[in-house]
Structure 1
Amino acid sequence: MHILVLSNLYPPDVLGGYELLARDVTQVLMHRGHTVEVLTTGLPSGQSSVTRTLRLARPFGRPAGRDRLRHVWAGLLNARATRAYLRTHAKPQVALVMSLRRLGLAPLRVLRQAGIPFVLTVNDDWPVAYSTGPSPRGRARLGQWLDEVLVPARTWKGLPTEHVLYLSEAVRRAVREAGAPLASGDVQSQGVDLSLFTPRAFRPMRPELRLLCVGRLHPSKAPEVALETLAVLRQRAVPATLTFVGEADAPSFQMALQQRARALGVEPLVTWAGKRPREQLPALYHEADVLLFLSRLEHEGQGLTYLEAMACGLPVVASPSGGAREFLERHDAARLVPVCSGEAFADELSALHGDPAAQEALAKRALDVVRAHARLDDYVRCLEGQLRHAVRRSSQR
């Protein structure tokens, strides 16, 4: 197939897992023999198959806004850029639509006019940004009417949405209950590249625990609870250190975390490693004793870092939400804390720290779960089936 990947961001422009997944999927589809090109935003990056002529209505890193003028302008520019792309490139058979948050839906309208079917991937609540809810009233209803008339880039009206792949039941339920007019579609867990994230030989946790947190430093990820966990362990005379791999969108938030570490008396025990290339993550997982996975994001699609850790044989202690909780509870592949607090995490870590047999059983169970339910190849195979189905349906019309 000739596939166009449409995304608001694409590496090296990365906020989190969605953009990395877009690149992973693109590479695997190419490896399977498909012709894959990408249409996205950003500065030229020297990638011959990636065209960066789209514009965000509002850059990430700034507070989200619903000002119509920005969306009108972005919609006009993105419609023009998409038409220009189709004029200068071979027409794709189908489009794979990743997140369009802050980009708008204008490119989808151009694809529809050109007769190009598309498949939507929904890994978080991004479709809700273009919906006012199931039963808008008052100002919301007026705003919906204005959007439908003046700002089609901000509304699903008239767009087909029958080909949808959700990352979890939790995100499907959240998006549809919020009023986004998407079909029920299918659900497929996001996958880990098992050729990169390989398991280490089992070893018990060290006497001095090496705790690891991987991911964006953001209030929804509760990094302050990891600091509190370290402080509680110290109070209980359990030696431990903590490494954060990731960075904050706002420098002020990271400064606040560092101040919190000082206030708790654990600053010398914390390493701020910053954002690391994915290729460096397996070594970090192999070196640690346990991954702390924390989330307060109820529309968390599924999460990825705990799956990477599990694939590397690293035990996971988690306070998950959304799709992550759904996955971990279903497969019993991590130790879950009852509440997201330093005391609760310290309780679980203390119990696990003194039980090497439980550590080994947990690591083995987690690896089996990843191999059975969270392989990147399985995710791409499911997407490939959706894309073929969309092409067939389009040719029958």
Structure 2
Amino acid sequence: MHILVLSNLYPPDILGGYELLARDVAEVLTHRGHTVEVLTTGPRTGQASVIRTLRLARPFGRPAGRDRLRHFWAGLLNQAATREYLRTHAKPQVALVMSLRRLGLAPLRVLQQAGIPFVLTVNDDWPVAYSAGLSPRGGTWIGRWLDEVLVPARTWRGLSAASVLYLSEAVRRVVRNAGVPLASGAVQSQGVDLSLFTPRAFRPMRSELRLLCVGRLHPSKAPEIALDTLAVLKQRAVPATLTFVGEADAPSFQASLRQRARALGVEPLVTWAGKLPREQLPALYQEADVLLFLSRLEHEGQGLTYLEAMACGLPVVASPSGGAREFLERHNVARLVPVCSGEAFADELSALGGDRSAQEATVKRALEVVRAHACLDAYVKCLEGQLRQAVRRSTAP
């Protein structure tokens, strides 16, 4: 198949797992013999198959807004850029749509007019932003009227996806409960590259715990609770250190975390590793004793770092939400704390640390579940099937 991947961002422009997943999918589909091109935003990198002619309505890093004029102007530019792509490149048979948050739906209208079917991947609540007057926080009748009457091209009106693939039941529920006019589609967990994230031989947790947190430093990820956990362990005379891998969008938030560490008296025990290439993560997972996974984001699609950790044989103690809670509760592969607090995490770490058999059983089951339900190969095979079906339907007499 000749496949066009449409995405708001694409590596090296990375906010989180969505962009890395887009690249993973494009690379695996290419290795499977498909012709894959990517239409996205950002400065050109010289990679011929990645066309960076689209434009975001508002850059990430700036607060999101309901600025319809910005979206209208970006829509016009993206409409023209998509038409230019179709004029200068061979027509793709099908499009795979990743996140269009802050990009808009104009490219989809051009593809639909050109008779190119598209498959939507919904890994978070991004479709809500384009449902007449709605946002994740709801909307007003004025906003709904403006969207429906003045700028209907901003909404899903008139668009018809060949199929929709949701990352989790939680994401599907959030999107459909918000009134987004998308089909119920199918659910498929995203996957870990098991050729990169490989398991270490089992070893029990050390008496001096090496705790690890991986991911963007953001209030929704509750990194302050990891600091509180370290402080509680210190009060209980349990030796431990904590490493954060990731950066904050806002420097002020990262500064507040450092201040909290100083106030709690744990600053010498904390390492701020910053944002690291994914290739460096397996070694960190394999060296740590426990991954702390925290999330307050109710529309959390699924999360990825805990799956990477489990693939590397690292126990996970978690306070999950959204799709992450759904996955971890269904498969029983992590220790879940009853409340998101330092005391609760410290209690769970102490209980797990004193039970070697529980550690070994948790690690073994987690690895089995990742291989069976959350590997990259399974995710791409599911997408490939959806794309083939879309092509067949579009060419059927």
TM-score range, shorter chain: over 0.9
Give the distance between the partners of 2:67 and 2:109, measured in 1 at CA. 21
CA distance in 2, matches of 1:80, 1:26: 24
- Which residue does the alignment assign to 1:315? 315
Q: Are residue 62 (structure 1) and residue 62 (structure 2) matched?
A: yes
Match of 1:342 in 2: 342
Q: Distance in 2 between matches of 1:66 and 1:162?
A: 28
% of aligned pairs identical? 86
Q: Which residue of 1 aligns with 2:241?
A: 241
Q: Deviations over 1:144-197 (max 9, x none)?
A: 332234324420000003510000001001100011111000000011000000
Write out per-residue CA displacement over residues 20-75 of structure 1, whole angstroms, 9 at most, x where no aligned residue: 00000000000100000000000011211100000000000000001111011100
Q: CA deviation at 1:95?
A: 0.2
| Aligned mates of 1:149, 1:76 — CA distance in 2 | 17
User: Corresponding residue for 2:50?
Assistant: 50
Change (3 A) 1:153 1:214: farther
2:368 paired with 1:368 = yes
Write the distance in 1 (CA, Å) between the matches of 2:153 and 2:269.
48
Counterpart-to-counterpart distance in 1, 2:151 and 2:55: 15
Task: Verify: 1:199 aligned to 2:166, yes or no.
Answer: no
Aligned residues: 394
1:330 is aligned to 330
> Shift of residue 132 of structure 1?
3.9
Quick check: 1:104–1:153 contact (8 Å CA) kept in 2?
Answer: no
Match of 2:119 in 1: 119
Aligned match of 1:271? 271
- Structure 1 window deviating more from structure 2 (54-63 vs 145-154): it is 145-154
Residue of structure 2 equivalent to 1:37: 37
Distance 2:143 2:351 in 1: 53
Distance 1:79-1:152 versus aligned 2 partners, 3 A rule: farther
- Alignment map for 1:1-397 (pairs within 5 Å): 1-132=1-132, 140-396=140-396
Q: Contact 1:99 / 1:122 at 8 angstroms: preserved in 2? A: yes
1:141 Cα deviation after fit? 3.5
Give the unaligned 5+ runs of structure 2: none
Please tell me whether the aligned partners of residues 58 and 70 of structure 2 are also in contact (alpha carbons under 8 angstroms). Answer: yes
Residue type of the alignment partner of 1:316 = V
- Alpha-carbon distance, 1:346 to partner: 0.3
The gaps in structure 1 that reach 5 residues or longer are none
Amino acid at match of 1:112: Q
2:117 touches 2:161 (CA, 8 Å); kept in 1?
Answer: no
Q: Secondary structure at the match of 1:3?
A: strand
The 1:59/1:41 distance shift into structure 2, 3 A limit, reads same
CA distance in 1, matches of 2:275, 2:390: 37
> TM-score under structure 2 normalisation?
0.97
CA distance in 1, matches of 2:141, 2:90: 40
| Matched AA of 2:86 | L
* Alpha-carbon contact 2:14-2:20 (below 8 Å) kept: yes
SS at match of 2:171: helix
- Shift of residue 265, structure 1, vs aligned partner: 0.5
